[in-house]
Amino acid sequence: MGRLVQNHSTNIEGLIKWLKKIASIDEIKTVTPASLSKTNGRGEKLDIKVTVKTKEGYKLLARKGKLVQEVFLVTRLDESEIKRIIEKTNPKSYRKKKGS
């Protein structure tokens, strides 16, 4: 189980709960939410996407409404496995499966 670094007092609503689920995966060493900024987007649902491979893992972007926040993952997993983890831990998709 990895650790979730919380060094910002401001995060996108609902993001920390999702990141805790991602951090609970054995192969994830560290999850660090980083800079928060405004964008022109209008998506109302929280979404996380893999953007860039880094030396130690991946940079993700979390978006909701007009906010975007960088998230850094330290892991040895490849991009397709990260995408699978994001989909599996997504609170919205979990609710859909649970209700069916």
Q: What is residue 69's predicted lDDT score, i.e. its pLDDT?
A: 95
The answer to whether the beta carbons of residues 35 and 70 sit under 8 Å apart is yes
Tokens coding 7? 């060094």
Check residue 24 and give its pLDDT.
95
Position 99 scores a pLDDT of 45
**pLDDT per residue rounded down to tens, the chain (100 residues):** 789 998 767 899 999 999 999 999 999 999 999 999 998 877 789 999 999 999 999 999 999 999 999 999 999 999 999 999 999 999 876 444 444 4
Predicted confidence at residue 42, as pLDDT, reads: 77
**Given this model, what pLDDT does residue 97 score?**
46
pLDDT reported for residue 93 = 66
**What is the pLDDT at residue 78?**
95
**Two tokens, residue 62:** 């979390």
